């Protein structure tokens, strides 16, 4: 039985030599894969940088939107106060007009005298010019 393993020794050596010859294309493929992995790592880094920049821009846009919303809210509040003040002023004007109307209804003769006096002064001023 010891002679049989010796018969296979040249075959094993031949296979080993054949295996060495076949590893050169595999090594070339391995080098190509390493190169591709390096390129992909560079591309992934660029994509990550781009994504980080986009996230930063989105954050800045959100901040601007929040500030715009605050400004709009403040402007609305100011407009509401201005409207309330205008309505109060209009109510005061309306109340004054009602009082004036009542006053002239109570004494139309005084109103006519006041109007004549006003018209006379107004008429007199035009004649001087």
Q: What residue ranges do the domains of the chain occupy?
A: 62-129
pLDDT at position 106 is 72
- What pTM did the predictor assign? 0.46
- For the chain, residues with pLDDT lower than 50 are 1
**Predicted pLDDT at 7:** 60
Question: Coil, strand, or helix at residue 113?
Answer: helix
DSSP label of 76: H
Predicted local confidence at residue 53, as pLDDT: 96
Distances (CA, A) of 6 to 3, 79, 125: 5, 105, 145
Report the C-alpha gap between 41 and 46 in whole angstroms: 9
pLDDT at position 110 is: 64
């Amino acid at each position: 039985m010891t002679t049989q393993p010796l018969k296979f020794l040249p075959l094993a050596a031949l296979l080993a030599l054949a295996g060495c010859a076949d590893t050169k294309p595999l090594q070339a493929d391995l080098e190509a894969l390493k190169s591709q992995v390096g390129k992909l790592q560079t591309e992934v880094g660029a994509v990550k940088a781009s994504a980080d920049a986009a996230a930063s821009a989105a954050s800045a846009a959100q901040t601007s939107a929040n500030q715009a919303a605050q400004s709009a809210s403040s402007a609305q509040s100011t407009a509401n106060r201005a409207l309330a003040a205008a309505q109060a002023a209009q109510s005061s004007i309306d109340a004054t007009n009602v009082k004036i109307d009542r006053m002239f209804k109570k004494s139309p003769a005084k109103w006519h005298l006041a109007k004549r006096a006003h018209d006379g002064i107004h008429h007199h001023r035009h004649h001087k010019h």
